[in-house]
Structure 1
Amino acid sequence: MKTKECNKKIKKMFPEHQELIQKLRHDDPHFAKIFEHHEELDKEITQLELNPVNLINDDIELLKRKKLKMKDEIYKILTQTTQSSPLS
């Protein structure tokens, strides 16, 4: 994903954790992988939703649930990291 697009998504997703997200994406391979997978799911869902044939598609709902689980995991890591070592 392009950096500019990704930055917009970060600002919308967890605006209070922008700096920490950038740091973890750079320093933590597990977090970076989860974050990237979340973005890939987002793109896939968007593409499927653009096609009217797919509007009644259970696969889209399944992908949305997976994406939400990834977002929950991202948030969990962010909050745990913030609690263990707050950014100054």
Structure 2
Amino acid sequence: MLGESHSLNVEFPEHQDRIQELKSSNEHFKLMADRYHHLDHKIRGLECSNVPTDDQHFTQLKLERLQLKDQIFSILSN
């Protein structure tokens, strides 16, 4: 659905405490989480407005968000 939040707390509700813990104790995880949040916010903004963007740019943003999500999940699963 367009404009739907894909925040880490929405995507991984069972890991909310671990996400907060890692954001405060692991600088690499914090940087990944911050970048993920920035991408999610940007993608939702583009979906909800009529700001023109080419399909390749939009697809690249979504791909980067997906790759970060996979990396974050890998850390959360360990």
Answer yes or no: same fold by TM over 0.5. Answer: yes
Following superposition of structure 1 onto structure 2, how do residues 64-79 of structure 1 map, counting pairs within 5 Å?
Answer: 64-79=62-77
2:44 and 2:14 map into 1 onto residues whose CA distance is: 25
Q: 2:33 aligns with which of 15, 32, 35?
A: 35
Following superposition of structure 1 onto structure 2, how do residues 1-88 of structure 1 map, counting pairs within 5 Å?
Answer: 9-49=7-47, 50-51=49-50, 53-54=52-53, 57-80=55-78
Question: Cα distance, 1:45 vs. partner?
Answer: 1.2
Higher RCO structure, 1 or 2 (CA under 8 Å, sep 6+): 2
1:67 and 1:11 map into 2 onto residues whose CA distance is: 14
SS at match of 1:53: coil
Q: Deviations over 1:61-80 (max 9, x none)?
A: 11100000000000000011
For normalisation by structure 1, the TM-score amounts to 0.73
Identity %: 33
Q: What is the total number of aligned residue pairs between the two structures?
A: 72
SS at match of 2:7: helix
The ranges of structure 1 where at least 4 consecutive aligned residues each deviate by more than 3 angstroms after the TM superposition are none
Structure with greater helix share of residues? 1
- Cα RMSD after superposing both structures: 1.8
Query: Counterpart amino acid of 2:50?
Result: N
- Show structure 1 runs of 5+ residues with no match: 1-7, 81-88
Query: Quick check: which has more Rg, 1 or 2?
Result: 1
